Amino acid sequence: MMYPPIEQLLEKVDSKFTLVSLSSKRGRQINSYFSQLGEGLGSIVPPQVASVSRKPLSIALEEIAADKITYQRPDEVEEAIK
């Protein structure tokens, strides 16, 4: 069984596409963080939740479920700038 449940994740975003896009981007960031960890670069934000999972995508989904990751649509960003 998947944790967090897909129903819980879909409550946090407006569509399945947004969920897939957001989680994949964050998963890549987490993967890059773990890759650069020994190099001392520190330019990427570390995981925001304590997780038993070692998979970057699972950690990203847990972050979304815990409301640690947010997103804005491009039109919302333009309105905020005006």
Residue-range domains of the chain with CATH: 6-81 (3.90.940)
> Are 12 and 29 spatial neighbours (Cβ–Cβ below 8 Å)?
no
Report pLDDT for 77.
63
pLDDT tens track for 27-72 = 999 999 888 877 766 677 888 898 888 899 999 999 999 999 988 8
Report pLDDT for 78.
67
Report pLDDT for 22.
95
Q: How many residues does the chain have?
A: 82
Rounded CA gap, 30 and 25, in Å? 9
pLDDT at 1 over 60: no
Q: What's the DSSP call for residue 14?
A: S
Report pLDDT for 26.
94
